[in-house]
Chain A
Amino acid sequence: MTTLGKIFGPGTRHAVPLIVFLLIGFAAPLLAVIGFSFIPARTFELWQSWSLDNYIEIFNSTSYLSFLWSLGLAAITVLILAIICYPIAYGLARVFGKYSTLVTLLFTIPLFVSENVRLYGWVLFFIKNGVLLGTLKAWFGIEPDSWLFTSGIIVFGMVYVYLPFMLFPMTLGVSMVPDQTRDAAFDLGATRWQVFKEVELPLSMPGIMIGFLLSFVLAVGAIAEAKVLGGQQIIPISHDIEIAFTYAQNWPLGAALAVLLMLVVGTLVLFVLRRFDLDAILGRR
């Protein structure tokens, strides 16, 4: 311990268990996936001749459609979330005062219930003879078509599931704007809109960007919404990967798809995170 202490400072020493764990539990599995993506299709043995066949197969298939769907749905989800969440983030940071902990708690609780279960609640809501359509039928005698199994409902589900992931970073961002800075801009003659554009938005950008990033990345990897609400009308990329691993029993192909998804997500995450000082966002003095 003493020699170790001489080589490494206390920070490094405290980081060791977590780093070792992430090497075994995160880096190694990802390397395994990368390794698997290079072995012949429909085999399960890592140590054999490697090739690029799986990637070639992907580019010759329709998997790019799944990719586009995932990216597109995620982008729409993020935009909707930004509009929904900003007023609430503003409220949590500036308006609710002592009630903001309670409101935060209300938005936290659903995070701990499996998303399948919550999405199934929406199925019960939207399904024919369900809570919405059943009520409409009983009270007003109208019977519109169910919205289930459409691409719109998938976005709806993703907005629902990923809302807290946009809201919380955004709240951190908005609360990073010092009160007096806003007052100062106002005092210097800025209108409400100018205060927002010139001061509030740029100063809360780090939190907002992290919210965008987090919800986008999670939405790109989303699978449950399309399966539970979308009735498999649309196959997002994660579903493609899952099919390759399960029904098709083609692990190498699934691994290759996963590698591509990891590349997109990883690039985006590293690109955005590199620009921010996490200490400032998470509240170091």
Chain B
Amino acid sequence: MNGRSPILQLHNLTKTFGSFTAVKGISLDISEGEFFTIVGPSGSGKTTLLRMLTGMESATSGDILLRGARINDLPANKRPTCMVFQSLALFPHRTVGQNIEFSQKIKGVEPAKRKARALQLMAQLRLPENYYDKSVTKCSGGERQRVALARALAYDPDILFFDEPLSAIDYKLRKTLEKELKDIHRETGKTFIYITHSLEEAMVMSDRIGVMRSGQLVQVGSPQQIYSSPGTKFVSEFIGDVNVIGVRATATTGVHAAEFGVDFVTQPVPAGFGEGHLVVRPESLRFLGSRSEAQNCLEGRVYNEYVLGSRIQYQVRVGEHVFIVEKLRQQAFAGSLDDQVLIGWDAKDSILVTD
């Protein structure tokens, strides 16, 4: 990845609507052939950012460079990029084939040629050949996804953008399509830029992830980096269920949690870390036989359990503080609800983050 040249560069990109700043000075390089995902909650500015990149919204300030050339003022229909929309935006009055061929018809490609291309894409995306004359309104959710992707690929764009196209799809199909999309990315070798509010979805597909909050990129890194060392409480909570404890640094590898009146052993405390949060993943927590079995320990009461397929989560209450402990089914907790338990974790699983 590092050896490749950047295809898209953003310099201090900003968008304001009146007094509201939707995107605040984003700078970012995206490499040729990369699968880059922008993750953020609704209202974080990710859609506005994407619309600027596609040319459907103009930037207030900053630059967008495509292979080194500034494209800020190029309208969407002149940019060699293409987007798969959240609603898919298939043309309901056209057949599957006509939808896929749309961009080529616009360019004036002769019918036989564009049909061949459409059929080739349909085969690649596992759409049956007889769907060519089928109305898109009669296709199922998954088929419509594939038609939308085929239509975008037929444009032969340098960069393919995705605006949460999977958000309206049920869980099982979504999981399949995520993998399919990653396969397509591999097969085509094109640059994919994807936005979603689901970090889980981002993790499955991406080479790199950028987390957005209030119009800014708060962290950019590989899925592994984001998962193992989230920079802030926001990023760590975005990943899913985590246990967060307010702490104050007291030593080079130690913090004090005022809430419980105890000290915890952690990874080396970063320089300049004063007050912050200690993050412990549910799967890092375990039930202890005695206090000596882990470096950090708390005593609580099992309040409830939730079966999540292969895993089981337990809600353990320490005073008013709710902890989530996650176990594989084979290692399920042997006791019953309302039992007093010891839960603990080690220094290596203590992630320190700032606000």
A203 at the interface (CB under 8 A from B): yes
Interface residue total, chain B, C-beta cutoff 8 A: 26
A185-224 vs B: 1/0 string, CB under 8 Å? 1111111001000110011000000000000000000000
Give every chain B residue within 8 A of A110 (Cβ-Cβ): none
Given contacts A180-B85, A187-B54, contact A203 B102 (CB under 8 A): no
Taking CB atoms, residues of chain B closer than 8 Å to A202 are 93
Interface flags for B94-131 (1: CB within 8 Å of A; 0: not) read 00000000110011000000000000000000000000
Q: Does B42 sit within 8 A of A, measured CB to CB? A: no
Which single member of A180, A183, A188 contacts B151 (CB below 8 Å)?
A188
In the complex, the chain B residue whose C-beta lies closest to that of A192 is B77
Total chain A interface residues with beta-carbon distance under 8 A: 17
Beta-carbon contacts of B58-81 to A below 8 Å, as 1s and 0s? 000000000000000001111001
Query: Which residues of A (156-190) have their CB < 8 Å from a CB of B?
Result: 178, 180-181, 183-190
**Contact present for B85 and A188 (CB under 8 Å):** no
B106–A181 CB distance below 8 A:
no
Could you tell me if B91 and A185 are in contact, using CB atoms closer than 8 angstroms? yes
A187 x B92 contact (CB < 8 A): no
Q: For the complex, give the distance between the alpha carbons of A183 and B56 in Å.
A: 7
Of A180, A187, A203, the contact of B77 (CB 8 Å cutoff): A187
What separation, in Å, do the CA atoms of A199 and B106 have in the docked complex? 12
> Known contacts A187-B56, A194-B106, A198-B102; is A181 also within 8 Å of B91 by CB?
yes
| Residue among B83, B90, B91, B107 making CB contact with A189, cutoff 8 Å | B107
Q: Closest A residue to B75 by CB, please name it.
A: A186
User: Would you call A180 and B93 a contact (CB within 8 A)?
Assistant: no
Interface-centre pick from B83, B88, B91, B93 (highest chain A CB count, 10 A): B91
Q: In the complex the two chains form, what is the Cα distance from A202 to B82 in whole Å?
A: 23
Docked Cα-Cα span, A121 to B87, in Å, equals 49
B77 cross-chain contacts in A, Cβ below 8 A? 186-191
- Nearest-neighbour CB distance to chain A for B291, whole angstroms, equals 58
Q: Does B89 contact A (CB under 8 A)?
A: yes
Indicate which residue in B75, B81, B89, B107 contacts A184 across the interface (CB closer than 8 Å): B89
| Distance between Cα atoms of A252 and B107 in the complex (Å) | 62
The answer to whether the Cβ of B333 comes within 8 Å of any Cβ in the partner chain is no
B243 to chain A, nearest CB (A): 40
Task: Say if the beta carbon of B214 comes within 8 Å of chain A.
Answer: no
Per the bound structure, the CA–CA distance linking A190 and B101 in Å amounts to 12
A187-B82 in contact given A198-B102, A203-B93 (Cβ < 8 Å): yes
Determine whether B227 belongs to the interface, using a CB cutoff of 8 Å to chain A. Answer: no
B267, chain A: closest CB distance, angstroms: 46
Selected from B55, B82, B87, B152, the residue in CB contact (under 8 A) with A178 is B87
Kindly list 4 other residue pairs between chains A and B, CB separation below 8 angstroms, not including A181-B90, A190-B77: A183-B89, A185-B102, A186-B56, A189-B78
A residues with a Cβ closer than 8 A to B are: 178, 180-181, 183-191, 194, 198-199, 202-203
